[in-house]
Amino acid sequence: AANVGGLIFADRIPVLPETETLCRLFGLDPLGLIASGALILAVAPDRSLSLVSRLTDAGIAATVIGKVMPPEFGIKMERNGTQIDLPTFNRDEIGKIFETNGVKHV
Protein backbone atom coordinates (compact mmCIF):
# COMPACT_ATOMS: atom_id res chain seq x y z
CA ALA A 1 0.00 0.00 0.00
CA ALA A 2 2.94 2.33 0.63
CA ASN A 3 4.69 1.45 -2.64
CA VAL A 4 8.02 0.74 -0.95
CA GLY A 5 10.37 -2.20 -0.57
CA GLY A 6 11.93 -3.45 2.61
CA LEU A 7 14.98 -5.22 3.96
CA ILE A 8 14.47 -7.30 7.11
CA PHE A 9 17.51 -8.35 9.14
CA ALA A 10 16.78 -11.92 10.29
CA ASP A 11 19.18 -11.75 13.22
CA ARG A 12 17.28 -8.78 14.67
CA ILE A 13 13.89 -10.50 14.78
CA PRO A 14 13.19 -11.30 18.43
CA VAL A 15 12.47 -15.00 18.99
CA LEU A 16 12.04 -16.33 22.53
CA PRO A 17 14.48 -19.09 23.52
CA GLU A 18 11.54 -21.40 24.23
CA THR A 19 10.21 -20.79 20.72
CA GLU A 20 13.62 -21.52 19.20
CA THR A 21 13.84 -24.80 21.15
CA LEU A 22 10.35 -25.98 20.18
CA CYS A 23 10.85 -25.01 16.53
CA ARG A 24 14.12 -26.92 16.42
CA LEU A 25 12.49 -30.01 18.01
CA PHE A 26 9.51 -29.99 15.63
CA GLY A 27 11.30 -28.74 12.50
CA LEU A 28 9.35 -25.48 12.32
CA ASP A 29 10.41 -22.09 11.02
CA PRO A 30 9.70 -19.52 13.76
CA LEU A 31 9.02 -16.88 11.10
CA GLY A 32 5.96 -18.88 10.03
CA LEU A 33 4.33 -19.02 13.45
CA ILE A 34 1.34 -16.89 14.39
CA ALA A 35 2.67 -13.81 16.15
CA SER A 36 -0.33 -12.86 18.27
CA GLY A 37 0.11 -9.37 19.63
CA ALA A 38 3.02 -8.54 17.32
CA LEU A 39 3.02 -5.24 15.48
CA ILE A 40 5.33 -3.99 12.75
CA LEU A 41 5.68 -0.24 12.41
CA ALA A 42 7.33 1.75 9.64
CA VAL A 43 8.95 4.81 11.17
CA ALA A 44 11.25 7.47 9.73
CA PRO A 45 14.87 6.45 10.38
CA ASP A 46 15.57 9.58 12.42
CA ARG A 47 12.67 8.72 14.77
CA SER A 48 13.03 4.96 15.12
CA LEU A 49 15.43 4.87 18.08
CA SER A 50 13.34 7.41 19.97
CA LEU A 51 10.20 5.34 19.41
CA VAL A 52 11.94 2.12 20.49
CA SER A 53 13.12 3.90 23.64
CA ARG A 54 9.63 5.22 24.46
CA LEU A 55 8.02 1.83 23.89
CA THR A 56 10.67 0.11 26.01
CA ASP A 57 10.15 2.67 28.79
CA ALA A 58 6.44 1.80 28.67
CA GLY A 59 7.25 -1.90 29.15
CA ILE A 60 6.68 -2.83 25.50
CA ALA A 61 9.45 -4.85 23.86
CA ALA A 62 10.55 -3.13 20.65
CA THR A 63 13.48 -3.24 18.27
CA VAL A 64 14.44 -2.10 14.77
CA ILE A 65 14.46 -5.15 12.47
CA GLY A 66 14.83 -3.61 9.03
CA LYS A 67 14.67 -0.62 6.78
CA VAL A 68 12.54 0.76 3.98
CA MET A 69 13.96 0.38 0.48
CA PRO A 70 12.89 1.56 -3.00
CA PRO A 71 9.88 -0.34 -4.40
CA GLU A 72 11.95 -2.08 -7.09
CA PHE A 73 14.04 -3.72 -4.32
CA GLY A 74 11.04 -5.80 -3.25
CA ILE A 75 10.76 -7.31 0.22
CA LYS A 76 13.88 -9.22 1.18
CA MET A 77 15.43 -10.73 4.26
CA GLU A 78 19.13 -10.71 5.06
CA ARG A 79 20.54 -13.73 6.89
CA ASN A 80 24.26 -14.35 7.39
CA GLY A 81 25.13 -11.65 4.85
CA THR A 82 22.91 -13.12 2.11
CA GLN A 83 19.72 -11.48 0.88
CA ILE A 84 16.78 -13.70 -0.06
CA ASP A 85 13.13 -13.05 -0.85
CA LEU A 86 11.14 -12.83 2.36
CA PRO A 87 9.77 -16.32 3.06
CA THR A 88 6.02 -16.79 2.83
CA PHE A 89 3.90 -19.45 4.49
CA ASN A 90 0.60 -20.87 3.24
CA ARG A 91 -0.47 -21.54 6.81
CA ASP A 92 0.84 -21.33 10.34
CA GLU A 93 3.87 -23.57 10.85
CA ILE A 94 2.33 -25.01 14.03
CA GLY A 95 -0.04 -27.00 11.81
CA LYS A 96 2.86 -29.27 10.86
CA ILE A 97 2.81 -30.73 14.36
CA PHE A 98 -0.70 -32.06 13.78
CA GLU A 99 0.06 -33.74 10.46
CA THR A 100 1.49 -37.21 9.92
CA ASN A 101 1.76 -38.67 6.43
CA GLY A 102 -0.66 -36.09 5.09
CA VAL A 103 -3.38 -36.96 7.62
CA LYS A 104 -4.61 -34.10 9.77
CA HIS A 105 -5.27 -34.83 13.42
CA VAL A 106 -7.62 -32.70 15.49
Q: Is the pLDDT assigned to residue 25 strictly greater than 70?
A: yes
Q: Residue 36: what pLDDT?
A: 78
45-70 pLDDT, tens digit each: 999 999 999 999 999 999 999 999 99
Task: Domain count for the chain, please give it.
Answer: 1
Q: 83 lies in which domain range?
A: 5-104
Q: Is the pTM of this model over 0.85?
A: no
* Cβ(2)–Cβ(69) below 8 Å: no
The pLDDT confidence band at residue 2, using thresholds 50, 70 and 90, is: confident
CATH number of the domain encompassing residue 82: 3.90.650.10
Answer yes or no: are the C-beta atoms of 32 and 93 closer than 8 Å: yes
Long-range Cβ contact pairs of 28-36 (< 8 A, separation 24 or more): 28/93, 28/94, 28/96, 28/97, 29/87, 29/89, 29/93, 30/93, 31/87, 31/89, 32/87, 32/89, 32/92, 32/93, 33/92, 33/93, 33/94, 34/92, 34/94
pLDDT tens per residue, range 73-85: 999 999 999 999 9
From residue 17, how far is each of 10, 24, 80, 89 by CA, in Å? Answer: 15, 11, 19, 22
